[in-house]
A and B are shown apart, each in its own frame.
Chain A
Amino acid sequence: MYKIIVLAKQVPDTRNVGKDAMKADGTVNRAALPAIFNPEDLNALELALLIKDRYPGTTIVLLTMGPVRAAEILREGLYRGADAGFLLTDKAFAGSDTLATSYALSCAIRKIGLPDIILAGRQAIDGDTAQVGPQVAEKLGIPQITYAEDILSVDNRTVRVKRRLERGFELVESVLPVLVTAHSTAPECRPRNARRLMQFKRATTLSERHHSADDYLAAQTHSTEPVLTEWCAKDVNSDLLQLGLGGSPTKVRQVENIVFQAKESKVLSAADDDIEWLIQELISQHTIG
């Protein structure tokens, strides 16, 4: 059995954008987009759950950083089979770029205790940087495997991973502990389980409990160890200078709305020469063949 931490992020659902998705100033209109569990983080969770299926006794802890409402994805994770969740939330984290985020996450992981495997989605659909996973691995000084499509085995303190590459796949091995980022071609995450939903729907973070008048929330928490834990910057022994806007070297100067235009077009006739050219072109671009 193994200890796994899954890094997850709550993101605006940019996959089905309506016309009110952007504000006039070119920034994302978060109010118009539903907040969801970042899709590749769900692939990461499924890879973790598959390990748990194979090695009973494995524990999966979800870790996210975000506003209070990000606890929603921790519950989503519990419904799907995770054992516990940690929310990093603090005004000090606001405005963090990938470097500051990975610093905060690495502090939290140290506090939880370095697990055997850290899993994360390759990238989040709101930024597409694919930097946080690798940076966390660097900060913790552990190896990383990106673009994972499958975890083939975990044994003898090593892990074998199938990586999705542009033109095929690669099998790699690493010692544990290791950080693995999951590609969207990894198995789709299992659905939420009805019974676990009823079991964990009242699992809340401290801030949520403060904001709720719901009395059975209180009734729930005094009896058992809370499955959701909320930490602020101080709780994870982080250096405030490395957090938030101040700790973020990335500065966004301007966001531009780009309208794609056809670059160049070529008109082909039905003549053999033109068709031959097109076929060669498609083969050279690996569209066919």
Chain B
Amino acid sequence: MGNFYLDTAELKFHLSHPLMQKIVALKERNFTERELYDYAPVDFEDAMDSYDKVLEIVGDICANTIAPHAESVDAEGPRLVDGHVEYAEGTKKNLDAIVKAGLMGITLPRKFNGLNFPIVPYIIAADMVSRADAGFVNIWGLQDCAETIHEFADEDQQQRYLPRIAAGETAAMDLTEPDAGSDLQAVQLKATLVDGKWLLNGVKRFITNGDGNISLVLARSEEGTADGRGLSMFIYDRNSNAVTVRRIEHKLGIIGSPTCELVFRNAPAELVGQRKFGLIKYVMALMNGARLGIAAQSVGVADAAWREAVNYARERVQFGSSINRFPAVYEMISRMKAKVDAIRSLLYETARFVDVYKAYEHIAKERSLTPEERAESKMYQKLADVYTPLSKGLSSEICNQVAYDALQIHGGSGFMKDYPVERIYRDARITSIYEGTTQLQVVAAIRGVTTGTYLSQMRAYEQREVRPELLGYRNYIKEMTDEYEEAVKMVTEVNNNEYMDFHARRLVEMAGNIIMAHLLVLDTDRDHIYWKSLDIFLKIARGENRGKKEFITISNPADLGKYRLD
């Protein structure tokens, strides 16, 4: 009877971050809902106690229901039956447990039967569900769509759709098409207004959980347009029965999560928000939420991979000793752990930023914010905007590194289907691809480099008070920050966009390493268990950043010619 919440002290550690005081007070509007709902908290401690206890339920379901089904779900996969998706048996059981436990509308307000939890505990749940089964977390995590409906749909739509999601109906976000992947401006699915009602026609591809009950669909509502400004967002309800699943993709990993090709034939739909804002406003918001979800998925999968490596190395005996005694093996495993701790700290820092500004956004609909509140909301939004792609980009790449090393620790056995690490390795691969590839995350994150937002954050972290024994680490990080500044200068000075794009990933990764090192210092200040990971990660980060800076130093724009392809 394991429990993924109780066996991972890091989760409760991140739940109990000092900023939670502010987040909970904002989310609970100073605890005024107690009069209306008997399950609303009376104060901060009560709210935190509820998060803790509910996460214990999630940890129980993850360890005892979802994780034990992961292997059979991976082998069985979903099936296409009469144009609809039938989940694998294990997936159905997982969903049943999650719905009965009331874990589908975690962040939704109580008036829509949600739990009204902040993003942080929701992401902790996502972290655990991902560790249990990276495919299942997609189906469960699409409750993010509810957040978008809550933010942008009208009151009547919210009343009709949100309680359904809270009651356990699943969702989907239908964005990608055969010719519109990374470039969503090219979306062709046609929305036409007939007698005051919208009808959708066309094809969507690679749609996760495409046969979900409630779908958010990006479609071209403005005939004759060709760019993002002609796109609007719609809600399609599966009860209309006008969309068929033409195909379920055969994938490398996350096999339990059905990836669908959808055909819309005069499918009735409702417009969400304003016309023409589909891509430029609503999808951007939807994607930011989804990216945070993928960052959580990356952390959970990396955690699972690290655990498999530890367990295997402890049990596997070669040359008369368990292999975890060999430096070549323990070096890898401890690096894996340090990286998992680092990306997890970045994940929850990002989640907190999102929490504060989202809470303000909702409050702003109820009353006007004070100038101080507005300034604070803006600041957190700015941070969330640059931390989200950073977290998604780096944690998905590191997740793949950790999964790679975990399989390596297993040797030949890891290459066989006999151990979970084989599935985890395949599941990890998608994290750096969907919801925007790493290359696209860099496009978003580079703004944090060029505008100096990352740099000012690094300098702000330097000012935070910590125990004296940690100041040595701080000084190393300060040096790294100076080197980063120089590297950024070397690239920006050239004043050549192509050259900037060429080095962008290097600069973003350097920034990420410094920020993660800072976060580990702050974590170690709160709890000594992070000390080892801090020490190990800092050395990895310092080495990597030096290498990247050296590469930038010896590069120049004339090099581009050697790289360009015909």
Would B115 and A194 count as touching, CB distance under 8 A?
yes
Q: Known contacts A16-B1, A198-B39, A201-B53; is A193 also within 8 Å of B100 by CB? A: yes
Contacts of A199 in B (CB 8 A): 38-39
- CB of B57 within 8 A of chain A? yes
Would B102 and A190 count as touching, CB distance under 8 A?
no
Would B60 and A216 count as touching, CB distance under 8 A?
no
Contacts of B317 in A (CB 8 A): none
- Docked Cα-Cα span, A190 to B42, in Å, equals 28
- CB of A192 within 8 A of chain B? yes
- Docked Cα-Cα span, A246 to B41, in Å, equals 47
- CB of A249 within 8 A of chain B? no
Query: How many of chain A's residues touch chain B, expressed as a range?
Result: 10 to 19
- CB of A67 within 8 A of chain B? no
Contacts of B61 in A (CB 8 A): 191
Would B101 and A201 count as touching, CB distance under 8 A?
no
Closest to A199 in B: B39
B111 CB → nearest A CB, Å: 13
Contacts of B103 in A (CB 8 A): 194
Q: Mark A179-198, 1 if CB is under 8 A from B, else 0.
A: 00000000000111111111
Would A194 and B46 count as touching, CB distance under 8 A?
no
- CB of A219 within 8 A of chain B? yes
Q: Known contacts A198-B54, A201-B53; is A216 also within 8 Å of B42 by CB? A: yes
Q: Known contacts A191-B61, A195-B39, A216-B42; is A201 also within 8 Å of B49 by CB? A: yes
- CB of B50 within 8 A of chain A? yes
Q: Mark A216-244, 1 if CB is under 8 A from B, else 0.
A: 10010000000000000000000000000
B3 CB → nearest A CB, Å: 11
- Docked Cα-Cα span, A27 to B330, in Å, equals 42
Contacts of A198 in B (CB 8 A): 39-41, 50, 53-54, 115
- Docked Cα-Cα span, A32 to B41, in Å, equals 34
Name the one of A13, A15, A16, A194 contacting B54, with C-beta atoms under 8 angstroms. Answer: A194
Would A190 and B97 count as touching, CB distance under 8 A?
yes
A261 CB → nearest B CB, Å: 28
B43 CB → nearest A CB, Å: 8
Closest to B55 in A: A194
A169 CB → nearest B CB, Å: 22
Q: Mark B522-534, 1 if CB is under 8 A from A, else 0.
A: 0000000000000
Would A197 and B53 count as touching, CB distance under 8 A?
yes
Name the one of B38, B49, B100, B115 contacting A190, with C-beta atoms under 8 angstroms. Answer: B100
B152 CB → nearest A CB, Å: 26
Closest to A36 in B: B1
Contacts of B38 in A (CB 8 A): 199
Would A216 and B46 count as touching, CB distance under 8 A?
yes
A228 CB → nearest B CB, Å: 15
Would A201 and B50 count as touching, CB distance under 8 A?
yes
Contacts of A193 in B (CB 8 A): 100-102
A241 CB → nearest B CB, Å: 40
- Docked Cα-Cα span, A219 to B46, in Å, equals 13
A232 CB → nearest B CB, Å: 29
Contacts of A196 in B (CB 8 A): 39, 102
Would A191 and B60 count as touching, CB distance under 8 A?
yes
Contacts of B106 in A (CB 8 A): 194
- Docked Cα-Cα span, A199 to B102, in Å, equals 13
Contacts of B41 in A (CB 8 A): 198
Contacts of A197 in B (CB 8 A): 50, 53-54, 57
A287 CB → nearest B CB, Å: 25
Would B100 and A191 count as touching, CB distance under 8 A?
yes
Name the one of A15, A194, A219 contacting B42, with C-beta atoms under 8 angstroms. Answer: A219
- Docked Cα-Cα span, A192 to B38, in Å, equals 17
Would A192 and B57 count as touching, CB distance under 8 A?
yes
Contacts of A216 in B (CB 8 A): 42-43, 46
- Docked Cα-Cα span, A199 to B50, in Å, equals 10
Would A194 and B57 count as touching, CB distance under 8 A?
yes
B523 CB → nearest A CB, Å: 28
Name the one of A15, A195, A201 contacting B102, with C-beta atoms under 8 angstroms. Answer: A195
Closest to B39 in A: A198
A125 CB → nearest B CB, Å: 13
- Docked Cα-Cα span, A196 to B54, in Å, equals 10
Closest to B64 in A: A191
Name the one of B39, B46, B101 contacting A192, with C-beta atoms under 8 angstroms. Answer: B101
- Docked Cα-Cα span, A191 to B46, in Å, equals 22
Would A195 and B42 count as touching, CB distance under 8 A?
no
Would B101 and A194 count as touching, CB distance under 8 A?
yes
- Docked Cα-Cα span, A16 to B102, in Å, equals 29
Would A194 and B102 count as touching, CB distance under 8 A?
yes
Closest to B114 in A: A195
B226 CB → nearest A CB, Å: 46
Q: Mark A197-219, 1 if CB is under 8 A from B, else 0.
A: 11101000000000000001001
- Chain B residues 5-52 with CB under 8 Å of chain A are 38-43, 46, 49-50
Contacts of B1 in A (CB 8 A): 13, 15-16
Closest to B60 in A: A191
- Chain A residues 150-190 with CB under 8 Å of chain B are 190
Contacts of B46 in A (CB 8 A): 216
- Docked Cα-Cα span, A15 to B43, in Å, equals 38
Name the one of A16, A191, A219 contacting B101, with C-beta atoms under 8 angstroms. Answer: A191
Closest to A13 in B: B1
A24 CB → nearest B CB, Å: 27
- Docked Cα-Cα span, A197 to B57, in Å, equals 10
A179 CB → nearest B CB, Å: 27
Contacts of B39 in A (CB 8 A): 195-196, 198-199
Q: Of residues A16, A196, A216, A219, which shows the largest number of chain B Cβ atoms within 10 Å of its Cβ?
A: A216
Would B42 and A191 count as touching, CB distance under 8 A?
no
B80 CB → nearest A CB, Å: 29
Contacts of B50 in A (CB 8 A): 197-198, 201
B209 CB → nearest A CB, Å: 22
Contacts of B57 in A (CB 8 A): 191-192, 194, 197
Contacts of A195 in B (CB 8 A): 39, 102, 115
- Docked Cα-Cα span, A15 to B64, in Å, equals 15
Contacts of B100 in A (CB 8 A): 190-191, 193
B24 CB → nearest A CB, Å: 14
- Docked Cα-Cα span, A232 to B42, in Å, equals 32
Q: Of residues A192, A195, A197, A201, which shows the largest number of chain B Cβ atoms within 10 Å of its Cβ?
A: A195
- Docked Cα-Cα span, A13 to B1, in Å, equals 10
- Chain A residues 256-286 with CB under 8 Å of chain B are none
Contacts of A201 in B (CB 8 A): 49-50, 53
- Docked Cα-Cα span, A192 to B65, in Å, equals 13
- Docked Cα-Cα span, A64 to B1, in Å, equals 23
Closest to A201 in B: B53
- Docked Cα-Cα span, A216 to B44, in Å, equals 13
Would A191 and B97 count as touching, CB distance under 8 A?
yes
B207 CB → nearest A CB, Å: 29
B107 CB → nearest A CB, Å: 12
- Chain B residues 63-80 with CB under 8 Å of chain A are 65
Q: Mark A8-20, 1 if CB is under 8 A from B, else 0.
A: 0000010110000
Q: Which 9 A-B pairs have the closest CB atoms?
A: A198-B39, A191-B101, A194-B102, A199-B39, A190-B100, A194-B54, A193-B102, A198-B50, A195-B102
Q: Other than A192-B101, A201-B50, give 4 A-B pairs with Cβ distance below 8 A.
A: A15-B1, A193-B102, A194-B54, A195-B115
A-B contact pairs, 28 of them (CB 8 A): A15-B1, A16-B1, A191-B57, A191-B61, A191-B101, A192-B101, A193-B100, A193-B101, A193-B102, A194-B57, A194-B102, A194-B103, A194-B106, A194-B115, A195-B39, A195-B115, A196-B39, A196-B102, A197-B50, A197-B53, A197-B57, A198-B39, A198-B40, A198-B41, A198-B54, A201-B49, A216-B43, A219-B42
